[in-house]
Amino acid sequence: MHYGLFTEQSRKARAAKSLFEMLRTKGRAEPIAAGKLLEWTVQSGFQVPGSERFRVLNLRFHDEHLSPYFKTDMNLFHLLMLDEQTDIAVLKTDDGILFTFEGLPDTPQKFSLHGHDTR
């Protein structure tokens, strides 16, 4: 499992909060129980349904990869590999809005006929 946390000072914190509130009020997202996840205390959270994952991807996490207000265990490669097949959860913590991602590849996938970049 990988994570990305938009802290309150992040320039994308407002967008992350509005996404969390949209999932909370829309009611189609599956709730996640409060508790402790990784190093943060989770107040509430939701598993993002497949039809709503594009909203999370539109936050463009890779824009924040060098920001000191975005905490993550992913590198730029992981942030660019986020897609609709990734399982995403949105959680509200004391520090900000936490996103968890499951199903990301750890290394680049081979492509082309011979399995390498032909550029």
Does residue 27 surpass a pLDDT of 80? no
> Confidence class of residue 18 from pLDDT cuts 50, 70 and 90?
very high
- What per-residue confidence (pLDDT) applies to 105? 80
Say yes or no to pLDDT of 12 above 90: yes
pTM for the whole thing?
0.86
- Looking at the 3D structure of the chain, how many domains does it have? 1
Contact 76, 62 (CB under 8 A): yes
Q: Is residue 41 part of a domain?
A: yes
For residue 72, give its domain range: 2-102
Mean pLDDT of the chain: 88
pLDDT in tens, 37-58: 888 899 999 999 988 999 999 9
Residue 15 domain-assigned? Answer: yes
In a domain, 63, yes or no: yes
Does the pLDDT of residue 4 top 90, yes or no? yes
User: 94-97 contacts: CB < 8 A, separation 24 or more?
Assistant: 94/40, 94/41, 94/43, 95/5, 95/7, 95/8, 95/40, 95/71, 96/5, 96/6, 96/7, 96/8, 96/10, 96/13, 96/16, 97/5, 97/6, 97/13, 97/16, 97/17, 97/19, 97/20
What pLDDT, on the 0 to 100 scale, is given for residue 37?
A: 86
Instruction: Indicate whether 113 pLDDT > 70.
Output: no
pLDDT in tens, 63-110: 999 999 999 999 888 888 888 889 999 999 999 999 999 988 877 666
Cβ pair 10, 64 in contact under 8 A: yes
In a domain, 108, yes or no: no
Mean pLDDT for 15-36 is: 89
